[in-house]
Amino acid sequence: MKYTSSTTAVPDTPNVPRHVAIIMDGNGRWATKRFLPRVAGHVKGVEAVRAVVEACARRGVEYLTLFAFSSENWRRPEEEVSLLMRLFVTALDREVSKLHANNIRLKVVGDLSRFDAKLQTMIASAERRTAANTRMTVTVCANYGGRWDIMQAVGKMVAGHPGAAAFSEEQLAPHLAMAYAPEPDLFIRTGGEQRISNFLMWQLAYTELYFTDTYWPDFSAASLDEAIASYQHRERRFGRTGAQLANKTT
């Protein structure tokens, strides 16, 4: 797909968001509230992922992007980090066949070099296996950071351009880790915090933002519908006036 940029051209505003990007937050608090270890929240969180993948596919969402592990999550206690890694391995093991059977493509983006070799191999083989699937693309952002993404894209952009050169947005964007997807229409963050936490810094430029107090393990198809309904009431102006939109002029 050719990369389209909301700042270069006014994009379409689909009724069902083409691309939904989610910060799945609140697993730890969900568990703590129930006097359970934090890991129980992460385990439950994987179930919520399954439900939301299915709900998005049924509703015709084309790209679902899930923030699973940020470049700053290494700062957590070693025990929690290694547990999250094991959970990632188990989830890949169990879920990839189902995704494939449902014609869903899986992509994992982030600095994967920091993961152990086994996990990297599993990711590569899951991506290869599902590469030709067309119903929906699920992207898992793992060891992802918005700033990492911009910096790695800049590195690729300037490679082969010795000396000073002037670059444009259009030259940078194709090097971003998710250049295969349109910019998100709808961003969802569960867990009550109202921040971006170094998620898709570049791509969220004109995304509609939706924050909910619901902890991720409790997020369901009905919660997704509430978020989509809120999205459907927004006026996406992309810098223009409301009157311009009413007149359908661009």
Amino acid at 123: I
- Of the pair 25, 183, the CB lying nearest Mg ion is at 25
Give the helix ranges, DSSP H, for 182-248: 221-232, 242-246
Could you tell me the smallest distance in angstroms from the CB atom of residue 226 to ligand IPE? 20
Residue number, 25 or 185, with CB nearest to Mg ion: 25
Closest residue to bound ligand IPE by CB: 28
Reference 19, options 51, 66, 54; nearest CA is 66
The span from the CA of 116 to the CA of 119, in Å, is 6
Judge whether 185 counts as a catalytic residue.
no
103 is in an annotated binding site: no
Helix (H, G, I), strand (E, B) or coil at 187: strand
Query: Which residue ranges make up the site for Mg ion (CB under 5 A)?
Result: 25
The residues with which 144 forms a beta bridge, in sequence order, are 70
149, two tokens:
């993404």
73 is catalytic: yes
- Shortest reach from residue 22's CB to ligand IPE, in Å: 9
List the structure tokens of 231. 């999205």
- Return residues touching ligand IPE (CB under 6 A): 23-29, 67-70, 73, 84, 191, 193, 195, 197
Tell me the binding residues for substrate: 26-30, 38, 42, 70-72, 74, 76, 189, 195-197
Catalytic residues: 25, 73
